[in-house]
Amino acid sequence: MRASIVGCSGYVGGELLRLLLQHPHVEVHQVTSERFAGKPVKQVHPNLRGSSDLKFVSAKDLEDVDLLFTALPHTNLMQRFDEFDARAGRIIDLSADFRLKDLEAYREWYDLDHPRPELLEEFVYGIVELHRDQMRSAHYISSAGCNATAAILSLHPLFANGVVDRERPVVAEAKCGSSEAGNKSSEASHHPERSGCVRSYKPIRHRHTAEMAQELGGHVNFSATSIEMVRGILMTAHVFVRDGVTERDIWRTYRSEYGTEPFVRIVKERTGLYRYPEPKILAGTNYCDIGFAMDGDRLVVMGAIDNLMKGAAGQAVHAMNVMCDFSETAGLSFTGLHPI
């Protein structure tokens, strides 16, 4: 199958290219960047030296392929959809342009009137574990936000199986690596300002909150904090459970939802350094590790991912595998490193 990547010079685009170059069923045809058009990909993604002779092209020079990945800044695809749709029968988008189904939600969370509201229902939300069946016949998939992915996967079994006491608040916070902000420098990413920081950059109204509400069917009070880490997210949520729910019930709930999932692991050990999820050892992998601890009717849930993988490029390749009827783990078998 031939695939191309639109917007391949960023961190997510580079990670997506790395995965597709190793995929047994995919030939990467073209990769685009307006800034680096004509230059070899290894100049921007040095980890790919010796892996590819591809050069960046302008999006205006795209040729027809079987599937197009779009990894452009937010609002680009919604404005240029027809242009890219003409180049492929299927699109997997890694921006926020088609994640939400509610037109009003785009006005509330993104302060815009969506120019293509008729397409919102055409895009399948990109978490395979929740929407696998829909993806099998989909033409368009919208990858989920990285923080949303960590929160939704961690909390979905509890919401879906009536474990959560919905009369009480759900509070979640994500500790996030710096790559989440992309590869464009800013005052906040300047080394003396970024190094060693524990910065609460979005204590309220993070846009990914809208995805959590959409997929979980309930509100999550979400905050995000930057920490000294390049890759990774550790999401910690405090949930109150219904009367009579035990730890055994929680185990049963997670196993019933994720027992056969290839990329979700329940991590709750009695001893050792890694008793609970740890994003450090997930770098480069497509796993979401989920753990929990109970204190009476309060359940603390932890979810860890690599934001560039399970939160972006790896999630998109997983979705492609389902869409195209490939093995779900194709191109995604890397297990991570220890120590790292």
Please give the structure tokens belonging to residue 13: 């685009």
Q: What is the pLDDT of residues 275-316, one digit of tens each?
A: 999 999 999 999 999 999 999 999 999 999 999 999 999 999
Rounded CA separation 150/263 (Å): 12
What is the pLDDT, as a whole number, of residue 190?
Answer: 84
Give the model confidence (pLDDT) of 196-235 as tens digits.
999 999 999 999 999 999 999 999 999 999 999 999 999 9
- d(CA 129, CA 251) in angstroms, rounded, equals 18
Name the CATH superfamily for 146-305: Dihydrodipicolinate Reductase; domain 2 (3.30.360.10)
> What is 2-143+312-323's CATH number, 3.40.50.280, 3.40.50.720, 3.40.50.2300, 3.40.50.1980?
3.40.50.720
Please write down the long-range contacts of 19-24, taking CB distance under 8 Å and 24 or more positions apart. 19/313, 19/314, 19/317, 19/331, 19/332, 20/317, 20/331, 21/48, 21/51, 21/52, 22/331, 23/317, 23/330, 23/331, 24/330, 24/331
Active site positions, annotated: 146
Q: Which pLDDT does position 185 carry in this prediction?
A: 76
* CA distance readout (Å), 177 to 22, 86, 131, 203, 227: 25, 36, 27, 16, 6
Spell out the long-range contacts of 178-185 with Cβ–Cβ below 8 A and sequence spacing 24 or more.
178/226, 178/229, 178/230, 179/11, 179/230, 179/231, 179/307, 179/308, 180/146, 180/147, 180/233, 180/307, 180/311, 182/10, 182/11, 182/12, 183/9, 183/10, 183/11
Residue ranges of domains in the chain: 2-143+312-323, 146-305
- On the 0-12 / 13-18 / 19+ scale of CB atoms within 10 A, 87 is middle
pLDDT at 102: 96
Tell me the backbone φ, ψ of residue 256, rounded to 5 degrees.
Answer: -70, -35
Residue 248 CB partners (closer than 8 Å, separation 6+): none
Same fold, 2-143+312-323 and 146-305: no
List the beta bridge partners of residue 223. Answer: 173
Phi, psi (rounded to 5 degrees) for 79? -85, -25
Low-confidence ranges of the chain (pLDDT < 70): none
Separation of CA 75 from chain center: 18
Residue 181: the pLDDT is: 84
Residues 6+ apart with CB under 8 A from 202: 223, 224
Residue owning tokens 């008729």: 118
| pLDDT score for 123 | 98
